[in-house]
Structure 1
Amino acid sequence: MSSEPVLELSFRPDDQLTEVMRLRVQSLQQRGQKRQDGERLLLPNEAVYRLDFSRQSLRFSHWTVRLAQAGRLTVTATSQLWTPDLTNLMTRQLLEPAGVFWRARGDAAVQCYEADAHEFGERIAELAKVRKVMYFLFAFAEGCSPETRSSI
């Protein structure tokens, strides 16, 4: 039995950053311009979330994901450290593997790709050693939405 205290971290929506990224897409569309080479634009089913680290020394234990109904949630970490002037998100800043969580219709439990989810959690804990905050892209699909995501 570990004597380390348990710390549960929760992802929080970053509505302001999500809106700025949506405005970037809208601006490009209105001007008939294309994205920069390698730029990653926010898709309509995506939103930006953040994870604040109250401690830097963490060890990943497990995921607690609750989806209120059937659907799929893909969580992709970014190496991006956003600034108020919004540095554009580039594809190379998306970290692998992503955490993929889903709940099938009629199932009570949320499923995931165990090995990828564990590696994803360990990678976040490793990055927490040098970061106070991290940003993530949440992609909602198959009936999952910010409103039906109970917690993660």
Structure 2
Amino acid sequence: MSLELTFNLDIQLTEMMRLRVQSLQQRGQKRQDGERLLKSNEHVYHLDFSEQALHFTRWNIRMCAPGRLNIIATSQLWTPDLTHLMTRQLLEPTGLFWKSTDDELLQCYEADAQEFGERIAELAKVRKVMYFLFAFEDGLSPENIECSIEFQK
């Protein structure tokens, strides 16, 4: 039986992380050693796992505009309400997906996308929620995408 989970934009957490960057800039302070600050083209998304025993099947990404989307997962150690995001909490590989203006097909690095999906399924065994940074490039924005991931239960 398959289970499709949709990535949800976390507007409140994205805003909180942007305020952190703004606060540091206003006070002329530097980030903590190893802290990962949110870039202007990045937004925080989360996946809610209703099931824990999952096997990755495929990505379902639709882009209605050309551009690039880089999905970066955070490890299970990050609790965004209590701690800052640290660089060491970002997982490799990332999911890189793109669509050019003259090509209708969505492109990706298939081996990385496969491994990335499998890592997410692995972390789902111990997580109820997982957070991601979505980096939008080359004109792509959150309004231009629909993104979900499919698993076998």
Which structure is higher in RCO with an 8 Å CA cutoff and minimum separation 6?
2
| Aligned-CA RMSD value | 1.0
3-state SS of paired residue (1:125): helix
Q: Which runs of 4+ in 1 moved over 3 A?
A: none
For 1:87, the equivalent position in structure 2 comes to: 83
Mapping of residues 55-134 of structure 1, within 5 Å: 55-79=51-75, 80-84=77-81, 86-134=82-130
SS of corresponding position for 2:142: coil
Residue type at the aligned position of 1:27: S
Conserved? CA contact 1:81–1:134, under 8 Å: no
Query: Could you tell me whether the CA contact under 8 Å between 2:78 and 2:89 is conserved in 1?
Result: no
Aligned residue for 2:44? 48
Quick one: which amino acid aligns to residue 8 of structure 1?
Answer: E
Task: List per-residue Cα deviations over 1:68-98 (Å, max 9, x = no partner).
Answer: 11100000000143253x3000000000000
Q: What is the aligned length? A: 147
Distance across 2 between alignment mates of 1:102 and 1:87: 32
Q: Distance in 2 between matches of 1:19 and 1:136?
A: 14
Counterpart CA distance in 1 for 2:106 and 2:40 is 24
Shift of 1:64: 1.1
Paired residue secondary structure (1:16)? helix
The percent identity for this pair of structures is 67
State the TM-score, normalizing by the size of structure 2. 0.93
SS of corresponding position for 2:2? coil
